[in-house]
Every structure is written in structure tokens, then in C-alpha cells.
Amino acid sequence: MFKKLKKHWGVNGLNLALIIITFALGGSLCGYAGKKLLALTGLDKNLLWVVLYILLITILWPLAVIVVSIPLGQFGFFKKYIIRVFKRLGTSSPALLPKEKGEAETEADLGSVYNDVINIAIFASGAGSNAKKIIEHFSSSKNIRIGLIVCNKPGAGVLHIAAAHNIPSLIIEKETYFKAGAYLAELKEHHINFIVLAGFLWKLPEALISAYPKKIINIHPALLPKYGGKGMYGHYVHEAVIANKEKQSGITIHYVDEKYDHGAVIFQAFCDVEDNDTPESLAQKIHVLEHRHYPEVIAGLLKK
């Protein structure tokens, strides 16, 4: 059951636990508040009392879970959850629902925030330093948001970054990813319309590429077409660059197609390779270029 909930909500294990705790504490809080309010009326516990109690806890529940979600770091999830519930009921979202800085102030604008914005999914496999820079870059954007972190390694650092920023995460499994739909349903559920690869080590299946034509980009830690292809990632790239006594290296941001590191180049940035450089020192230079340019290039593409 918990595995299905993680997949359905696009969260990791820690966030799932906090969400369940929020549901439980929020329910207890609204139940307690409902009883206290009815006690003020002096009514006996009869049928009328039961009806009023049900009405009260129905009204109080959204506010109760929102209040509990704030200290538990789940405000973003429950705000969107409650908005979806009210939309399904055919009503507007509750007026008491708090708004975050920069959010729309009207119901029409709020619908735009969640339905018309560009929702980015970041695919990452490791620590997530590039993902963190991208998240920070778009944290105040009104029309571009990071809607999902997709990771193939449980416990990867990028999942902790997602949790810290209240961004849903999806842990993917090989069989489902390559043979059973490439998680397209989950991406659709999160309204994803652009995909950014940031240190993601699996090749993308054709189903995913076909579903997002010219809407998937990758960053490679070398100057393509050199030092690309299967197995060319991380320190393997830097070791090859140094071994071949290259004078320059850099980054390449490119569209993703069916082949490793093959799609059309969008942007390149360069750095010198010194005689005393090691794979580790070169990696640091490359990280500086990645962090400086990747968020800006993404922003530029999405504003066109």
C-alpha cells in the first residue's frame, strides 16, 4: 500500500511518513476543535449534535491539515491536495488557505499557477548539485516551476534536496521505466511539460522521447561531440580529457534523442585544462560552468 502511495503522490519515504502524520494529526485536531465548539452550544449528544459535528469537521479539516503541515514541511503538498479536492467538488478553494510569496491573489490566477505554468521534471541520479541550482534559480518564478524530481537511486542526495524544497519526488524502477510506459502516466499526473536531465545515468526510452519532442535537455561535462557516448560520464570524462592532453574542456547543453549525448547542441561553455590539472580539479572547473550556465540556458529556452 505504501509503495503505491509513494508512486501515486510522487514522494519519497520520508515525505510519505510526514504526509500520513499530517493527515492523522490534522484529523485529530479538527475532531477536537469540533467537539469544543459544540460544547459551547450546550446541545445534548443527539442526532442534531452528530449532524452538526460532521458539518463542523468537514469545514475545519482543510484548515487543520494546513496548520499541521507547516511545521512538518508539507505545506506545498497539502495546499495542492486541498485545491484538487475542492476542484473535484466543483467549488473554489477555501478563502482561508494561506498564499505563499509571489502567488496569484485571484482564483483565476491560482488556476493558472497550477495548470498553465511550465512544469519541469528534473531527472537526476546522484547528489543533485545541478538540480539544487536549478531549483533555486526558479524558486521565485511565477510561470516556471520544478514540479517533480525523478531519481533511479533510493537514498540519492537529490531526493533530500527535493524534500527540503517540498518538491514531489518519484523513484523509478528499471522494468517499468524501460518496458512498461516509461512513467508517462506519472509525468502527466504532475503536469510535466519539460524535462531536464541533471546527472541522470540511464538512457531515455523511445516512449519518453516521443512524448516530449524537443522538450528534453541534458548537460554533458565535456565539449561534444568529443568524449560523449555510453560510459562517458563524471570522472571517466575528465580522465579521458586529461589523458589525451586536451587544452580545453567545458560543458555542452543539448537536446536529447535516442542516442547517448547525440542531440542538437544548444550551448557550450569552455575552460582551460592546465598541465597540473587532475580529474578532480577539472571536475571542479566543470561544476562552476554547470552551475553558472545550466539554469540560465533553461530559462532562456522556456521564455522563447
- Hey, how many other C-beta atoms are within 10 angstroms of the C-beta on 53? 17
Q: Which triple of cell numbers denotes residue 171? A: 523513484
CB 196 within 8 A of CB 120: yes
Q: CA angle 165-167-172, nearest 5°?
A: 130
Beta partners for 265?
A: 254
Residues whose CB falls within 8 Å of the CB of residue 280, separated by 6 or more in sequence, listed in order = 235, 238
Q: Which of 165, 220, 238, 254 is catalytic?
A: 220
Chain length of the chain: 304
The label of the residue with cell 580529457 reads 241
**Dihedral pair phi/psi, residue 96, rounded to 5°:** -80, -5
Residue 105: partners with Cβ closer than 8 Å, 6 or more residues away: 99
Other C-beta atoms within 10 Å of 151: how many? 24
> What grid cell was written down for 109?
490566477
How far is 304 from 301, CA to CA, in rounded Å?
A: 6
C-alpha 171/C-alpha 250 separation (Å) is 30
Active site residue 220: yes
Nearest to 253 by CA among 285, 213, 295: 295
Query: Cell 560552468, residue?
Result: 289
Point out the residues that are catalytic.
220
